[in-house]
Amino acid sequence: MHVPTSPGRHERKCRVFCPIAEAFWPNLKAKVMGVECAHEDAAEDIAKAEARSVTTVVNVGAVRVVLQVVQRNFIRFGYVTN
Residue 3 within any structural domain of the chain: no
Q: Give the number of domains in the chain.
A: 1
Per-residue pLDDT tens over the stretch 10-61: 999 999 887 776 777 777 777 777 766 656 666 666 666 666 667 777 788 8
Asked if 52 and 62 count as a contact pair (C-beta separation under 8 A), the reply is no
Per-residue pLDDT tens over the stretch 54-73: 777 778 889 999 999 887 77
pLDDT of amino acid 64: 96
Residue 39 within any structural domain of the chain: yes
pLDDT of amino acid 81: 64
Q: Give the chain's count of helices (H) and strands (E).
A: 2, 2
Residue 2 within any structural domain of the chain: no
Higher pLDDT, 59 or 82: 59
Q: What is the residue range of 59's domain?
A: 8-77
Residue 1 within any structural domain of the chain: no
Residue 23 within any structural domain of the chain: yes
Residue 49 within any structural domain of the chain: yes
